[in-house]
């Protein structure tokens, strides 16, 4: 996660605590996992503002069924459905879930 986005997430996390939900849109499972780790346990690369900072934010991939259910179906169809065909939605959601289950607090109740 680039340094500017880490700072934005850090600012929001410090202001709202774990009421702040992070939704990732990464197209790559490995990247999604690192981003999820960054906003929960801290920046694993120790390069950015979240190095050593455990925000423990609830984090989801946009393809997680919980998030999908929250979305306006028309907007989903218009903005996201094409990428749903291109990417592997289950693998992406699972990659983020793994980190969430280890490090997040106050996750959305299923």
Sites for another protein among residues 74-93 (CB under 8 A): 78-83, 85-86
- What SS3 state is found at 22? strand
Q: Which stretch binds another protein (CB under 8 A): 22-30, 55-63, 66-74, 101-109?
A: 22-30
Cβ contact 40:57 at 8 Å: yes
Judged by CB, which is closer to another protein: 26, or 40?
A: 26
Q: Considering beta carbons, is residue 32 or 55 the nearer one to another protein?
A: 32
Of 104, 103, 110, give the one whose Cα is nearest residue 64: 110
């Amino acid at each position: 996660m680039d340094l500017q986005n880490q700072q934005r997430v850090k600012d929001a996390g410090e202001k709202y605590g774990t009421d702040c939900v992070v939704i990732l849109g990464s197209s790559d499972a490995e990247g999604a996992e690192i981003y999820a780790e960054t906003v929960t346990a801290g920046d694993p690369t120790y390069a950015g503002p979240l190095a050593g900072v455990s925000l423990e934010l609830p984090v989801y991939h946009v393809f997680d069924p919980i998030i999908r259910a929250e979305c306006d179906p028309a907007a989903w169809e218009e903005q996201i459905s094409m990428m749903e065909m291109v990417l592997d939605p289950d693998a992406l959601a699972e990659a983020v879930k793994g980190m969430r289950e280890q490090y997040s607090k106050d996750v959305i109740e299923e």
